[in-house]
Amino acid sequence: MRAEMVDVTFVGGGPVALYGLFYAGMVGLSTRVIESLSELGGQLAALYPEKMVYDVPGFPAVRARDLVDQLLAQSSRFLYDVRTGETVQQLQAQPDGTYILRTTAQGEYPTRTVIVTTGAGAFTPRRLALPGADRFEGKGLQYTVPQLERFRGQRVLIVGGGDSAVDWALSLEPLARSVTLIHRRGQFRALEESVEQLLSSSVDVRLFHELRAIEGDERVTAAIIYNNQTGEETRLPVDEIVLALGFVPDVSLLRSWGLDMDDNAIVVRSDMSTNLPGVYAAGDVVTYPGKVKLIATGFGEVATAVAAARRHINPQVRTPLHSSSMKW
| Rounded Cα–Cα distance for residues 208 and 222 (Å) | 19
pLDDT at 43 (0 to 100) = 78
Summarize pLDDT for 107-137 with one digit per residue, the tens.
899 999 999 999 876 566 677 788 888 889 8
Complete domains list, the chain, with CATH: 6-123+247-325 (3.50.50.60), 127-243 (3.50.50.60)
Asked if residue 49 lies in contact with residue 148, where contact means CB atoms within 8 angstroms, the answer is no
Partnered with residue 236 across adjacent β-strands are: 223
What's residue 319's pLDDT?
64
pLDDT at 328: 42
Strand runs labelled E in 176-287: 178-183, 204-207, 209-216, 220-227, 233-237, 240-243, 247-250, 261-262, 265-267, 279-281, 286-287
Q: What is the DSSP letter of 150?
A: G
User: pLDDT tens-digit profile of 306-321?
Assistant: 999 999 999 988 766 5
pTM for the model stands at 0.72
Q: Report pLDDT for 45.
A: 77
User: pLDDT value at position 282?
Assistant: 98
Which segments in the chain show pLDDT lower than 70? 1, 47, 121-125, 146, 247-250, 319-328
Question: How far, in Å, CA of 195 to CA of 197, rounded?
Answer: 5
245 Cβ neighbours under 8 A, 6+ residues apart: 125, 126, 127, 128, 143, 159, 160
